[in-house]
Amino acid sequence: KISLGVELHCRCIQTERKPIGRHIEKVELIPASSHCEETEIIATLKRTGQEVCLDPEAPWVKKVIQRILSKK
Amino acid sequence: KISLGVELHCRCIQTERKPIGRHIEKVELIPASSHCEETEIIATLKRTGQEVCLDPEAPWVKKVIQRILSKK
């Protein structure tokens, strides 16, 4: 679900549909740029280290990010 | 301003005070965990690739993140 290699293009091909909030180790936010027209959000999962793309428009994704930001 | 190595401890030692919103290539959000009691936000700057820690409590940091999320 993620393409590898240099970031001269979009990295996300598909986004995860099911909420995975509790298993996130970190979240990368990549603003839209000349390399990729869309904002990309890539979560790294705990334990497996698997990277999954999240949909910036999905309400549960916004909530996950707000929850991370609201904790000290 | 960032310690290197495995992430078994907090990575941020200091946070950036001046707003750097326009020069951000990506932002990593690292939720608080057993490895680090605080939420950490690490921005990678365009061109230099330099990593800087941002203060999750700073209003300008929250704005930068909202701006990234609100763009398609």
For chain A, the average pLDDT equals 87
CA B55 vs. chain centroid, Å, equals 7
As a whole-number percent, the residues of chain B with pLDDT over 70 amount to 89
Which of A68, A70, A71, A72 to mutate: most B Cβ within 10 Å?
Answer: A68
Q: Do A28 and B25 touch (CB under 8 A)?
A: no
Distances (CA, A) of B27 to A17, A18, B68: 22, 23, 9
Q: Do A31 and B30 touch (CB under 8 A)?
A: no
Q: Do A32 and B57 touch (CB under 8 A)?
A: no
pTM of the full predicted structure?
A: 0.85
How many whole angstroms separate alpha carbon B16 and alpha carbon A47?
A: 30
Summarize pLDDT for A23-38 with one digit per residue, the tens: 899 999 999 988 899 9
